[in-house]
Amino acid sequence: MFDLIFGKKTFVGLDIGTSSIKIVELKLIDGKPTLSNYAWMPLGEGMQGKGDINSEYFYAVLPRLLKKIFKKSKIGKGNVYVSLPAFGGLITLIDFPDMAVNDMEQAIKFEAHKYIPTSLDEVVISWDIVGKKEQIADNNASAKEADADARQIKNKNILQVLLVAASKEKVLKYENLIKNSGLSLSSISLEPFPMVRSLVGNDPGNFVIVDIGSEVCNIMLVEKGIIMVNRNIDAGGGDITKTIAKSMGVDNARAEQLKVSERNFFKGNSIINFFALELVIGEADRIIKTCLRDDAKMKIDGVILSGGTAEMTGICEYFSDKLKVRTTVGNPFNKVKYDNNLEKIISSVRTKYSVCVGLALSGMEEYIKNKDNNK
């Protein structure tokens, strides 16, 4: 109660990755999101990649690790916002003819069968109308057909609906994981949404976010803050580390250090062919070209890199050259206040915190919205 009175409501974003656990604690101070605490725990090589919800590790080891990191960092256990991996759900944009909301509910359930390989009873579905556009009439249509189209113009509007689905089993198991860790869960969302919240927010531009995780890369096309395309590729920072290790004859630990050092592996005598990055760039290029082909008026304002691999020296220039689009490293703390003395540390870890910062920000924004509505 006193936290509410003094404007210090606390929001905790928890990102359980395949190679590390990241946590951010934000407080609402003077109406602004303020960093009050953060933590990061790497998972040992023997545990990396064992985040399968069906494994004993998920139930036996993770709760102990979470209890340990929360206790050691003294981060609050309430108002915890958690993410599901991007590959653990479905995000897709579907076009529908303009119709009443009640009819839309049934239409979405019918259309969802085309995108969801399992029974709809086994998934949690949510949807939102994110845009409306006019259907372009066929220039070759007869005058009679054109008149008919004119009389039925209200049916020519197309609604763009963002469909989101996740396995009920996975959601339930994440809920149990948080409960067994002694934490108070506020909500669960798929990774791409909090990532967009922290890296793009309400920016009116069009961006491609490339999040290079340890094992999986998530690529998103974001138009005016809305995810229009979402792709996952089985290629990540771990593959890049292994390539460096093999090429230079060092172990993975040393290769990881070299990967984020000032050494530029993309030019000069250090050039190495990173097959994983080529896969990522190839998919990003396909997404960009397809969107530009479908909408001649569209412009990509930039590519935003996230994940630990985004700290590689020269990687922005490499992406810019390959994609012919300005590429930058995303900064999820851009909208967050923090002590100036932390600037050097924050700069060195920022790419790892896109999801958990976005989770905490989303919770804070929802709280502010509800508070304003109750006035």
Residues with Cβ within 8 Å of residue 201, at least 6 apart in sequence: 225, 335
Mean model confidence pLDDT for the chain: 84
For 235-252, write each residue's pLDDT tens digit: 999 999 999 999 999 998
The CA R_g of the chain, rounded to the nearest whole Å, is 22
Mean pLDDT for 220-241 is: 91
Q: Which of 16-25, 97-106, 243-252 is the least confident region?
A: 97-106
Cα angle 116, 120, 126 (rounded to 5 degrees) comes to 80
pLDDT score for 276:
93
367 vs 54 pLDDT, higher one? 367
pLDDT score for 154:
46
Torsion sign over Cα 322, 190, 223, 350: negative
Residue 119's pLDDT band, with cuts at 50, 70 and 90, is confident
For 145-176, write each residue's pLDDT tens digit: 545 444 444 456 888 888 888 888 888 888 99
Domains for the chain: give ranges and CATH numbers.
89-166 (3.30.1490.300), 201-330 (3.30.420.40)
pLDDT at 262 over 90: no
The three-class DSSP label of residue 118 is coil
Q: Which of 18-22, 48-52, 196-200, 314-318 is the least confident region?
A: 48-52
Spacing of C-alpha 292 from chain mean position: 23
Q: What percent of the chain has pLDDT over 90?
A: 47
Angle between helices 275-294 and 237-248 (to 10 degrees): 140
The three-class DSSP label of residue 10 is strand
d(CA 260, CA 69): 25
Buried b (16+ CB within 10 A) or exposed e, 63-81: bebbeebbeeeebbeebbb
- Please classify residue 202 by burial: count the beta carbons closer than 10 Å to its beta carbon, then call 0-12 exposed, 13-18 middle and 19+ buried: exposed
pTM of the full structure: 0.85
In Å, how far are 5, 32, 344, 357, 373 from 370, measured between CA atoms? 16, 16, 35, 20, 5
pLDDT at 15 over 50: yes
The three-class DSSP label of residue 108 is helix
For 273-293, write each residue's pLDDT tens digit: 999 999 999 999 999 999 888
pLDDT at 22 over 90: yes
pLDDT at 51 over 90: no
Mean pLDDT for 118-124 is: 83
pLDDT at 294 over 80: no
pLDDT score for 4:
37
Mean pLDDT for 260-273 is: 84
Residue 54's pLDDT band, with cuts at 50, 70 and 90, is low
Q: What secondary structure letter does DSSP report for 267?
A: S
Residues with Cβ within 8 Å of residue 60, at least 6 apart in sequence: none
Is-contact 261 308, C-beta < 8 A? no
For 304-337, write each residue's pLDDT tens digit: 999 989 999 999 999 999 999 999 999 999 999 9
Is-contact 189 81, C-beta < 8 A? yes
The three-class DSSP label of residue 373 is helix
Closest CA to 239 of 85, 53, 19: 19
